[in-house]
Amino acid sequence: MTLVGIIANPTSGKDIRRLVNQAQVIGNRAKVNIVKRVLIGLHSVGVREVCIMPDRSGIGNRSVHDLKSRHPQAVEGVKILDMVLQDSGEDTTRAAATLREMDAQAIITLGGDGTVRVAAKGAGDVPILPISTGTNNVLPIFIEGTVAGLAAGRFAISGSEKQRNLVDRQKKLDVIINGEIRDIALVDIVLMEGSHIGSKAVWGSKKLFQVAVTRSSTENIGFSSIIGNYRTIFPENPFGGIAAINKDGNCDNQVSAVIGPGMIERFCLRDFRIIDPGIINPILSTRPAILALDGEREIVLREQDQAEFQLSLEGPFFINIRRTIEIAPNIQ
């Protein structure tokens, strides 16, 4: 049997940025409808085994229940993973790791950059198809759920040889604290003022010291767009970038960046440089401070902590949707 996993983050698209800005709210009812369409797409190409991560909102269970009356054949092989929830990003990582151990051929995620990051930590080499339902979405794409299910299904049944040509490998940033890899980021690492995590979502920008990115573009939203308005770094480029942010505003490189929905702010960049794979890069020694990974506060740095990072070209695999639909077999 060909197995495809689904991880739908019930908290994506609902953080504090929804209260302070003009961001779109993507509720769990909408996510249920997306999952339903994904299941229909998967079934249409012959995928008969699907496992969905459980959550307190019951997105998976509600999706299955709704489809039983109109498309019962689409949910015959759908199961909810049997796992204890911790109500944190660790649930997503453990679900992805479980799906990897079950030999899933693909994992579909619903969420933002943060969801993809924690899923990638558990997915290993299992390719991911990220659907955007989050706030800052550099990695996930806005795609109709039916098309996403169709693409993931065609990929899953296409066989290992063909699959190698249907994925794009992403870059990542390994976060090193006191000599040990602590975490990863797929888009950006931001050093910011602070001494405790609080709300994970970063919605203010007045306390930023440094930004490192795997990719950057004027079209991106989030902190990577700060560098993106100075230098474009494409996902396929074998390098990243880093810059310090001058808080007094006195510099030659001033940029405006969309750091969140409804949030356009000016930044003063200094000491921009390209970062190459495998090279250890120091993070500024300002302490205490917080490291935000892909837009979410994750690591508190104390006075004694030494923080570094390195760029790796061996990040997660993403399914190339266009290439998959064009090349992979259309098996009924």
In tens, the pLDDT along 40-88 reads 999 999 999 999 999 999 999 999 999 999 999 999 999 999 999 998 8
CATH of span 3-170+316-327: 3.40.50
What is the third-level CATH fold of 172-312? Tumour Suppressor Smad4 (2.60.200)
Domain ranges across the chain: 3-170+316-327, 172-312
Three-class SS string for the chain?
A: CCEEEEEECCCCCCCCHHHHCCCCCCCHHHHHHHHHHHHHHHHHCCCCEEEECCCCCCHHHHHHHHHHHHCHHHHCCEEECCCCCCCCHHHHHHHHHHHHHCCCCEEEEEECHHHHHHHHHHHCCCCEEEEECCCCCCCCECCCHHHHHHHHHHHHCCCHHHHCCCEEECCEEEEEECCEEEEEECCEEEEEECCCCCCCECCCCCCEEEEEECCECCCCCCCHHHHHCCCCECCCCCCEEEEEECCCCCCCEEEEEEEECCEEEEEEEEEEEEECECCCEECCCCCCEEEEECCEEEEEECCCCCEEEEEECCCCEEECHHHHHHHCCCCC
- Local confidence pLDDT in tens for the 332 residues of the chain: 799 999 999 886 545 454 455 556 678 999 999 999 999 999 999 999 999 999 999 999 999 999 999 999 999 999 999 999 998 899 999 999 999 999 999 999 999 999 999 999 999 999 999 999 976 689 999 999 999 999 999 999 998 889 999 999 999 999 999 999 999 999 999 999 988 887 777 766 768 999 999 999 999 989 999 999 999 999 999 999 999 998 766 777 899 999 888 889 999 999 999 999 999 999 999 999 999 999 999 999 999 999 999 999 999 999 999 999 988 665 44
